[in-house]
Amino acid sequence: MTTTAVLEAPAVGRSDDFRRRLLDGLAASIEERGYRDTTVADIVRYARTSKRTFYSEFATKEDCFAELLTSNNDELVEAISAAVDPHAPWHEQIRQAVVTYVEHIDERRAITLSWIRELPALGEYARPTLRRGFSRLATMIVDLSANDGFRTAGLPPISHAIAVILVGGLRELTAQTMEDGDPAGDIIEPALAVSLALLGPRPTV
């Protein structure tokens, strides 16, 4: 019955559907056993498809992993951008951004930790995915610091370099919090303190 349904399904969008199922399958396996112990067989089992389908979409498990993390990162940026009111006072915007970040990672703890710890372990292969993820998050922070709420407070946009420092520190705090099994909410107050210091009024030296 399942085979007949697949054969009769419209060809348009079928590949995208399979690709999404495979990404979801990898995500489910990472949540259960971690990326390192996940095999292609695990992915297709969760996706309820075949290895043949997997290899028609991805050359390797690493390719599937990179796309999953890129998609997750894009969703994070979109969620934060949608949650922040650009006309709100600047410090309220920062709280909105931090709380949304924490809510997102708390729903995807294993995937978030694999992004921080296991992706870099792939070496040169992982560099483009890492750089893209860092760049998107840093650019979002720079853009946030240039909106109406910040301009009204007389605050200039932060530099990309400072945004990268903020992203890097937040990633490491996130990883340590998750590795220790602590609540993701524990990140909020220290993340707020650092973000307010970096994006707020600049000290005069």
Give all domains of the chain, ordered by start, each with its CATH number: 9-58 (1.10.10), 60-205 (1.10.357.10)
Rounded to whole angstroms, how far apart are CA atoms 14 and 73? Answer: 24
Rounded to whole angstroms, how far apart are CA atoms 74 and 138? Answer: 12
Contact 48, 110 (CB under 8 A): no
pLDDT at site 203:
73
pTM, to two decimals: 0.88
Rounded to whole angstroms, how far apart are CA atoms 61 and 40? Answer: 6
Rounded to whole angstroms, how far apart are CA atoms 11 and 97? Answer: 40
Give the torsion through C-alpha atoms of 122, 125, 130, 135, to 10 deg.
170
Residue 114 token pair: 């694999």
Rounded to whole angstroms, how far apart are CA atoms 40 and 54? Answer: 8
Rounded to whole angstroms, how far apart are CA atoms 143 and 187? Answer: 23
Contact 43, 26 (CB under 8 A): yes
Grouping H, G, I as helix, E, B as strand and the rest as coil, residue 158 is coil
Per-residue pLDDT of the chain (205 residues; tens, 9 = 90+): 333 333 333 344 456 899 999 999 999 999 999 999 999 999 999 999 999 999 999 999 999 999 999 999 999 999 999 999 999 999 999 999 999 999 999 999 999 999 999 999 999 999 999 999 999 999 999 999 999 999 999 999 999 999 999 999 999 999 999 999 999 999 999 999 999 999 999 876 6
Residue 132 token pair: 């893209």
Contact 197, 176 (CB under 8 A): no
pLDDT at site 205:
62
Rounded to whole angstroms, how far apart are CA atoms 31 and 44? Answer: 15
pLDDT at site 16:
85
Element (H or E) spanning 1, and its range?
none
**In this structure, what are the phi and psi dihedrals at residue 102, rounded to the nearest 5 degrees?**
-65, -40
